[in-house]
Chains A and B, each alone.
Chain A
Amino acid sequence: MELHILLVFMIFAAVMAIEVKDLFSSVIAMGSVGFALCLAFLVLKAPDLAIIQLVVELLCLIILIRATINKDLPLVIEGRWFFNTVSTLIFICAFLFFAWLALSELPKFGEPIMAVVKKYLEEGSEKTGAVNLVTAVVLDFRAYDTLAEAAALFTAIIGIMAILRKSGRKNHEDA
């Protein structure tokens, strides 16, 4: 159920990122697609992938915002200072509230929750049949993560092939 809500939200935000006129709003909409994808990975039980997606999305978003913030943003400050200040304060309060909710759920420092790891150690070899527990985790319990890592390598190789290809370069030299 959560997955379907996230999918609808991602499709809506992706369409909005294309259709919206302002470049900065488009970047923001694309960032929301990325964060929804991060949540979708969490729902699909691929936590490693969700962390990677979060980090990469943050980095891309910062770079894109830095690149577009001076381009076409009609920065209107005069006459709207009251609305701007109030909305900023509301968002800061909401962020602090949710951060407090999330941080109070964290386990104490030095006392991690061992539920998942204990299960891997005790039942890993019987459930998967693999004696090497590292392989059991990588290719069975967290196989979805491995699939995405393989996809990342695949994308890197395709990118290198596209940059180093011979045919396009030759045509360029002839012309």
Chain B
Amino acid sequence: MIGQNKQGMSVIVQTVSRLTAGMILVFGIHIVLHGHLSPGGGFAGGVIIALAFVNLLIAFGSGSGISKISVNLASNLETIGAIMFLIVALMGFLGGTFFLNILSKGESFSLFSAGTIPLSNISIGLKVGVGLFAIFLALVLLERARK
């Protein structure tokens, strides 16, 4: 089961990356969601989310199931992230100006606070994470098409 995949790296690397990929993904989501409370934010968390998938892709080779995600799906998700960020920006016009923080500020130090900032963080995290993974996927697919 483990050693059958001839592509990719050794069994040790495959096992370790299979165990840690989920943790890396959860850590990235944590960074994105707590962007307004702790260091990090959309950009940093998005890169961590992308690295979880890139890790799997490197360890199991380009023939593994994770590379069946099409580049089109990835770029569509990235576009959705960009449009979400733009919608958050345009929501400010309900209160008057561009990028106005119209939602309630809430209580400091709690997860649901700071109005639109967590929404912006989530959309940037989606955009950056999927976008970086899409770049990597496009490079992998190019390499496969060349063979």
A interface residues (Cβ-Cβ under 8 A, vs B): 125, 128-132, 134-136, 138-140, 143-144, 146-147, 150-151, 153-154, 157, 160-161, 164, 166, 169
**With A140-B117, A160-B138, A161-B75 as given contacts, are A150 and B85 in contact (CB-CB < 8 Å)?**
yes
B interface residues (Cβ-Cβ under 8 A, vs A): 35-39, 41-42, 71, 75, 78, 82, 85-86, 89, 98-99, 101, 105-106, 108-109, 113-117, 120-121, 124, 127-128, 131, 134-135, 138-139, 141-142, 145
Q: Considering the complex of A and B, which 3 residue pairs feature the smallest CB-CB distances, nearest first?
A: A129-B105, A130-B36, A130-B114
Q: Check B86 against A135 for contact (C-beta < 8 Å).
A: no
Q: Check B139 against A147 for contact (C-beta < 8 Å).
A: no
Q: Check B41 against A154 for contact (C-beta < 8 Å).
A: no
Min CB distance B132 to A, Å, is 8
Q: Check B134 against A129 for contact (C-beta < 8 Å).
A: no
Cα A157 to Cα B82 in complex, Å, equals: 12
Does more than half of chain A's interface fall in helix, strand or loop, or is it mixed? helix
Q: Check A139 against B117 for contact (C-beta < 8 Å).
A: yes
Q: Check B85 against A161 for contact (C-beta < 8 Å).
A: no
Q: Check A143 against B131 for contact (C-beta < 8 Å).
A: no
**With A131-B109, A144-B99 as given contacts, are A154 and B115 in contact (CB-CB < 8 Å)?**
no
**With A129-B114, A135-B41, A160-B138 as given contacts, are A154 and B78 in contact (CB-CB < 8 Å)?**
yes
Question: Which residues of chain B come closer than 8 Å to A140, judged between CB atoms?
Answer: 99, 101, 117
Question: Which residues of chain B come closer than 8 Å to A129, judged between CB atoms?
Answer: 36, 101, 105-106, 108, 113-115, 117
**With A164-B138, A164-B142, A166-B145 as given contacts, are A128 and B101 in contact (CB-CB < 8 Å)?**
yes
Question: Which residues of chain A come closer than 8 Å to B106, judged between CB atoms?
Answer: 129
Question: Which residues of chain B come closer than 8 Å to A157, judged between CB atoms?
Answer: 75, 78, 131, 134-135
Q: Which of A128, A135, A147 contacts B35 (CB 8 A)?
A: A135
Cα A153 to Cα B117 in complex, Å, equals: 20
Q: Check A128 against B98 for contact (C-beta < 8 Å).
A: no
Q: Which of A134, A138, A150 contacts B82 (CB 8 A)?
A: A150
